[in-house]
Amino acid sequence: MPTYDYRCDACHATYDVFHKVREVVEDVICPRCGSTAHTRLISAPVVSMGKSSASSFDAGGAPSCSDGSCCGGSCGLN
């Protein structure tokens, strides 16, 4: 199910809505004030650049970047 972010036009609260395939946008209600007046916000998608592997991290968490390396980042993509 896609997730959309909305901002209430009445109380300015922001909230997420998990839409079903054919859900009507007019049925979205602000959880704070109950208003149906809202603006759908543009949100950035989550992008994965390959498989994630637990073995790429040591037992202490994220790898050290003290040697000036990319620390497993996307430096090779530039």
Tens-digit pLDDT profile for residues 13-50: 999 988 776 766 778 899 999 999 999 898 777 677 76
11: DSSP letter: T
Strand-pairing partners, residue 4, are: 17
Q: Number of C-alpha atoms within 13 angstroms, CB side, residue 44?
A: 3
pTM for the structure as a whole: 0.51
The reported pLDDT for the residue numbered 70 is 59
Strand-pairing partners, residue 17, are: 4
Work out the burial of residue 30: count CB atoms within 10 Å of its CB; fewer than 13 is exposed, 13-18 middle, 19 or more buried: buried
Q: Long-range CB contacts (< 8 A, 24+ apart) of 27-36?
A: 30/6, 32/8, 33/8, 35/8, 35/9, 35/10, 35/11
